[in-house]
Amino acid sequence: MSHKLVVATEPFVNFVSDAFLKKFILNLRTDYTLNFLTTRNFGSSIKYKGSWLTIRPTRNSQIAKIPNRINTASKLHFHNSDTTPVASTDRCPLCEKTTNTMSRLGHCAEHQWVCGSHDGRWLVMNWGQECPTCKVKRDCRVCKINQHPENQPGDSANYPEISEKILIIPSASDFHVHFRQGDLMNMVVPRIVEGGISLCYVMPNLKPPITSTEQALVYRDKLEKLDPNVSFLMSLYLNPDLTPEEIRKAKEAGIVGVKLYPRGVTTNSDIGTESYKVYYPVFKTMEEVGMILNLHGEIPSDIEQDICVMNAEEKFLIHLKELHADFPELKIVLEHATTKAAVEMVKSLGDTVGCTITIHHLQLTVDDWAGQFHNFCKPVAKFPHDRQALRDVILEGHPRFFLGTDSAPHPAHHKECAQSCAGVFTTPLALPYLATILDSFNALHMLKSFACENGKKFYNIKEEKCREIKLIRENWLVPNSYPFCNTQEEKSGIVIPFWAGKTLTWKIDSN
């Protein structure tokens, strides 16, 4: 069969439907300028006037995955070929590495971004590096020769100030975090600022859980005494004794939300929810006064119903949809999403539905926690395609997805045992973790919006304790442990952090 090769020589955007692509392919002419072309279509063939077009990147193609709001033109040329060509031996124009060392996006992993075409050649650049031809530095990924739009939608107007080795952003907000009690709390809370965080939404699953306004205020006072430089937003544990009257009282006292835990699905959820309908009067009052409903999005495992930790989140999503339909003005947050299905569900619902994503779920898959208790958490990390969906929605810049670390410390001997406790500890290194992971899939430019802006906008929070954070590109090792004085068990204890002993590539400058 005869094929023609569509050679793509400019950046692509990976957020366009196949129908859109086909519509324009069928109208192609030589040198036709096409606004979007999807990288996922490489290798596919479309019949055109009796011939087959095969989409392939070839020599001089440098492919950058960039936000879909940016309209980057792509020129397509026809080249005759009797058979589908094999991959070329393209080289990175800076380091001359060939395709076998290129990333899946088609460019050298050490030279992440693409500047505009100068004298017919694409320059592969680090984000923020000054283009040697046009001298534009801010966001050279979208520049064209002699065309550098100021504050183009999706451009660097809302991106952090960044250079090759320095990243400056506001302090981050963590909209899902556990601080525990007693000695563990005394160790964790003073380390919040070390991780670049200045605002925390505190989970209520203590022993006993925080079920009343008075309990929430007492706990907040303890946290503020440990670190007055952090803003603590408090929540209540949904339980049968919670009434509409208590909701109004909580709102007046500054309590932000109510956390729904299905019974038995995670740490300290023994008095969790079994039925949602009985709480409809509470949800109605929350909708009226403007409180947030936070959902642990899993249902309990049930062998007879074929439900386990791997599908518990997806099985829960119908409840999210029903709650949103019944209370469309109630702000609902699906916590710590781990599946592609969860991402798609949240995106399909209205503007009153948001979603937190943890640091560790952006890195882990099922293979990373099976048999490795320090990576075990609830909900568990899922499949690679689920992790990719979490990464993609951050790259997309979706405003209703934001950081909630779900940092949940446990003493090491409670993790390293037959019945390992669920939880991953990330608080002391939150921003270095996140910057390192985002940088690994070319999403560092989304750090500011994901970690510092989206959550506060969704919660309608104006923070007073925000400060400037300076991150520097530097390799360094995660501490192997964090010690604390365990007076309850009359011995010293340690907490093992996420990625203990591994290398991070970004570090907060403490000078």
Q: What's the rounded Cα separation, in Å, for the pair 362 and 352?
A: 24
Whether 97 is catalytic is no
Chunk the chain into consecutive blocks of 10 residues (it has 511) and report each block's average pLDDT, rounded to whole numbers. 38 39 42 34 46 43 30 29 31 43 34 35 41 44 30 41 79 98 96 98 97 98 98 97 98 98 61 76 98 96 94 96 98 98 97 98 96 94 97 96 98 92 98 98 95 98 92 97 78 90 96 78
Q: Tokens 């007693």 label which residue?
A: 182
The position carrying tokens 């200045």 is 198
User: Which of 403, 362, 356 is CA-nearest to residue 195?
Assistant: 403
Instruction: Please report, as a single letter, which amino acid is at residue 133.
Output: T
Question: What pLDDT score does 490 carry?
Answer: 54
- Show the tokens assigned to 355: 């979603």
Question: Which residues are CB-contacts of 162 (< 8 A; sequence separation ≥ 6)?
Answer: 127, 128, 168, 444, 445
Q: Is the dihedral of CA 368, 374, 380, 381 positive or negative?
A: negative
CA 318/CA 311 separation, integer angstroms: 13
Residue among 297, 383, 369 nearest 336 (CA): 297
Q: Hey, where are the domains in the chain?
A: 3-159, 170-469
pTM beyond 0.75, yes or no: no
pLDDT for residue 29: 34
Residue 392: active-site member? no
Asked whether 449 and 403 are in contact (CB, 8 A), the reply is no
Residue 128, classed as helix, strand or coil, is coil
CB of 66 within 8 A of CB of 443? no
| pLDDT given for residue 510 in this prediction | 85
Q: Please report, to the nearest 10 degrees, the dihedral formed by the alpha carbons of residues 116, 120, 124, 128 taken in order.
A: -30
Strand partners, 170: 468
Q: What angle do CA 79, 84, 90 make, to 5 degrees?
A: 70
Of 382, 406, 439, 448, the active-site residue reads 406
pLDDT at 413: 92
- Catalytic-residue membership of 374: no
What pLDDT was estimated at residue 253?
A: 98
Nearest Cα to 55, choosing from 27, 79, 30? Answer: 79
Record the tokens describing residue 311, joined without a space: 């599908």
Residue 488: what pLDDT?
66
In the prediction, which pLDDT does 212 show? 98
Residue 475 has φ and ψ, to the nearest 5°, of -80, 130
CB 189 within 8 A of CB 226: yes
The span from the CA of 438 to the CA of 446, in Å, is 8
Q: Quick check: is 360 catalytic?
A: no
Instruction: Say if CB 191 and CB 482 are below 8 A apart.
Output: yes
* DSSP H helical ranges for 201-260: 213-226, 244-252
Domain 170-469 CATH class label: alpha beta
Does 413 qualify as catalytic in the annotation? no
**180 touches 200 (CB < 8 A):** no
Can 178 be counted among the known catalytic residues?
yes
Catalytic-labelled residue, pool 65, 111, 176, 374: 176
pLDDT of residue 403: 99
- Which residue among the candidates 65, 111, 148, 296 is catalytic per the annotation? 296
Catalytic: which of 107, 336, 445, 448?
336
Please pick, among 65, 178, 415, 448, the residue that the annotation labels catalytic: 178
